[in-house]
Amino acid sequence: MGLIVLLAFLEMAPPLITMYIVDEVIVVGRWEMLETALALLILVPVLAAFLRVLNAFTFSYVSSRLIMNVRLTLYEHIFRLSLGYHDEMGTGKVMSRMMGDVATVRQMVSMQMLRVITDFVSVVAAVGICYGLNWKLALLMTVLIPLYVVNYRIFVGPIRVTSRRWRRQMDDVSVGLQERLSGARLVKSYGRERREDRAFAAETREGLSFAMQTQTHRASASAGFWVVSGLRNTLIFCLGCYFVIQGEMTYGAVMAFLSYAMRVFQPILNLMNVGIQFEQMMVSVDRIYEVLDHPVEVRDAPRAVDLPPVRGHVVFDRVWFEYNTGEPVLKNICLDVQPGQMVALVGHTGCGKSTLTSLLMRYYDVSEGVITVDGYDIRDVRMTSLRKQVGQVLQDSVLFNTSLRENLFYGNSRASERQIIDAAMVGEIHEFAMRTRDGYDSRVGDGGIRLSVGEKQRLAIARAVLTNPAIMILDEATSALDSLSEALIQSAMANVLKGRTSFVVAHRLSTVVNADLILVMDQGEIVERGNHKSLMKIANGKYRDLIKQQFAGSAAMENGG
């Protein structure tokens, strides 16, 4: 702060030096002082420039650290929010806040805050000097300042409104862009490039419309500022000339006053412009706080303990669950799964199969009832300790743009080379890795784009196996595999699941006929339960109907294998 004050006073010196040259050197004729005055005119700006660079560097470092902490805090909070928040917001809108809004705040803090402080100190110093030169002119100058404030207040409201609309539209643009980039193959396969070009252009044009409205309001405010500035200069110059004629001021004093008046009103103009930019920044700040203020709905209890190694005894005791809609998604789920049992969840899309397994992972908390693992209420144990003992393979495998090895390490960063190879062999991905040029160090591309769908799925299965979980969740894990790959995986998974409790969400019923327990779900309820043979004996049963739909005419399946 001391450097800023010193810089402000150094920048106040040149008009006083100029006044001295005019009144003492030129008018009075003290030419021997000209060299000293000119030297000061050169030295002072050089020193001021050095201080300005030093201030800018210091402030840039501090502001960059501040923004880094904001982004890290936002990132950490986002990953502590429940999946319900992510489902509602979508990746594109979250990215817009993480990158776009934080960048807006960064630009404001790093580029404008130093200017605000410097300008404020300059205004105070310049006003003081102006009153010292001529209090009458200074009073006139002070009276004109409210005109700037009025002009600012007229336009600040519309600027905030259009800025908020523009940021919302940028959310939509971000979402659309993310969807189109992730679906590039689909767009190309259907030849829809031009259609998507037009759609993206329309979204962008709408954003441009809001941006132009904002810029129009800013330009109008700036024009108002310059009108007031022109009025100020004219009045000060005319009145200053009058005071010279009356002998109240010297020529140098009038010149210095005009210079200081500029140094009063230009910073005020800058502050008003910064105020307008501040309104735009506050839109981004509000959007950031919308995320930070969102409650963490699923969190560790204050006295949560680590879940010790478990056998895999899972109990759902009268579990109900609903999202924010208020409609129950799961209704009175009662289930007792013994260690090592394989439980299959079948039913039509949207019946609650994946939601049930998500509750076991504690991605959401139950609305009513209790879920226990080996007698521990999962709400009383730390989530990390729970999830370390539950492996999960989803239908849409998420892979990172790193090597095969790094993607496997994500399941267990301490795994040995032997463990990696064993897991890869279980997932039937080892031979594929050996055929690539760099083996396990081969990069998979963004989202695993260099792998086939089946290869991605097998890699995900190997990654889950590497965690050596007591409980395994397979959510349509083999749905994307061809018949040969599925046969290989089924054989391997039979060995992997032996001795482990497993929940298999399946659309292909051929993969679950050997399950110890099959749960048939409909509209959030378990409507039938049993093994394949017992369920096939239920006349007009839902499971029997599902089997008939998939294996029409297969007498072997109807008779239990």
Residue 17 is part of a domain; what is its CATH number? 1.20.1560.10
Contact between 453 and 421 under an 8 Å Cβ cutoff? The reply is no
| Domain end residue (candidates: 239, 260, 292) | 292
Partners of 529 in the beta sheet?
519
Tell me what pLDDT residue 262 has. Answer: 79
Q: Are residues 332 and 288 in the same domain?
A: no
CA 419 to chain centre: 35
Give the SS3 label for residue 175: helix
Q: Are residues 248 and 322 in the same domain?
A: no
Q: Are residues 264 and 356 in the same domain?
A: no
CA pair distance 172, 166, nearest whole angstrom: 10
Q: Are residues 47 and 168 in the same domain?
A: yes
Q: Are residues 319 and 173 in the same domain?
A: no
Report phi then psi at 541, rounded to 5.
Answer: -75, 155
Angstrom distances, CA of residue 351 to CA of 87, 328, 344, 521 = 18, 11, 14, 6
How many residues are present in the chain? 561
Angstrom distances, CA of residue 139 to CA of 132, 143, 311 = 11, 6, 84
Would you give the DSSP letter of residue 97? I
Q: Are residues 243 and 311 in the same domain?
A: no
CA nearest to 458, candidates 431, 435, 481, 491: 481
CA nearest to 531, candidates 353, 342, 354, 315: 342
Tell me what pLDDT residue 3 has. Answer: 65
- Say if 312 falls within a structural domain: yes
Contact between 261 and 232 under an 8 Å Cβ cutoff? The reply is yes
Q: Which residue has the tokens 């200053």?
A: 240
| Domain end residue (candidates: 261, 292, 323) | 292
CA pair distance 528, 264, nearest whole angstrom: 81
Q: Which two tokens stand for residue 65?
A: 């650290």
- Say if 445 falls within a structural domain: no
Instruction: Please count the other Cβ atoms lying within 10 Å of the Cβ belonging to residue 360.
Output: 21
> Can you say whether the dihedral through the CA atoms of 314, 317, 321, 327 is positive or negative?
positive
| Domain end residue (candidates: 237, 267, 292) | 292
- Say if 418 falls within a structural domain: no
CA pair distance 396, 481, nearest whole angstrom: 12
Give the SS3 label for residue 346: strand
Range of the domain at 383: 306-389+509-561
Q: Which residue has the tokens 């009073």?
A: 139
CA pair distance 132, 126, nearest whole angstrom: 10
- Say if 70 falls within a structural domain: yes
Tell me what pLDDT residue 38 has. Answer: 80
Which residues have C-beta within 8 Å of that of residue 528, sequence separation ≥ 6?
518, 519, 520, 535, 538, 541, 542, 543
Tell me what pLDDT residue 556 has. Answer: 46
Task: Note the pTM of the prediction, 2 decimals.
Answer: 0.66
Q: Are residues 17 and 80 in the same domain?
A: yes
Q: Are residues 207 and 285 in the same domain?
A: yes
Q: Are residues 278 and 332 in the same domain?
A: no
Report phi then psi at 401, rounded to 5.
Answer: -75, 65
Contact between 272 and 152 under an 8 Å Cβ cutoff? The reply is yes
Q: What's the number of domains the chain is made of?
A: 2
Q: Are residues 288 and 316 in the same domain?
A: no
Per-residue pLDDT of the chain (561 residues; tens, 9 = 90+): 566 677 667 777 777 777 777 777 777 677 777 777 788 778 877 887 887 778 777 777 777 788 888 888 888 888 888 777 777 777 777 777 877 788 777 777 766 676 777 778 888 888 888 888 888 888 888 888 788 778 777 877 787 778 778 777 777 777 777 777 767 766 766 677 788 888 888 878 877 777 788 778 778 877 887 788 788 888 888 888 888 888 888 888 888 888 888 777 777 777 776 776 777 677 788 888 888 888 888 889 999 999 999 999 999 999 999 887 678 999 999 999 999 999 999 988 888 898 999 999 998 999 999 999 999 999 999 998 999 899 888 777 788 888 999 988 887 888 888 988 988 888 778 888 999 889 999 998 877 778 887 788 888 888 888 888 899 998 876 665 566 666 666 666 666 677 889 999 987 787 788 899 999 999 999 999 999 999 998 888 899 988 888 766 444 444 554
Tell me what pLDDT residue 380 has. Answer: 95
Q: Are residues 346 and 221 in the same domain?
A: no
Q: Are residues 318 and 283 in the same domain?
A: no
- Say if 548 falls within a structural domain: yes
Tell me what pLDDT residue 561 has. Answer: 47
Partners of 315 in the beta sheet?
336, 372
- Say if 431 falls within a structural domain: no
CA pair distance 239, 248, nearest whole angstrom: 11
Tell me what pLDDT residue 19 has. Answer: 73
- Say if 407 falls within a structural domain: no
CA pair distance 99, 101, nearest whole angstrom: 6
Q: Which two tokens stand for residue 57?
A: 């560097």
CA nearest to 518, candidates 500, 543, 498: 543
CA pair distance 292, 93, nearest whole angstrom: 14
Tell me what pLDDT residue 313 has. Answer: 95
- Say if 328 falls within a structural domain: yes
Which element (helix H / strand E) includes 521? strand 517-522
- Which alpha helices (H) appear in 293-416, and where do they start and end? 353-360, 383-387, 404-409
CA pair distance 79, 151, nearest whole angstrom: 44
Instruction: Please count the other Cβ atoms lying within 10 Å of the Cβ belonging to residue 352.
Output: 23
Q: What is the CATH number of the domain that holds 371?
A: 3.40.50.300
Partners of 530 in the beta sheet?
518
CA pair distance 267, 455, nearest whole angstrom: 62
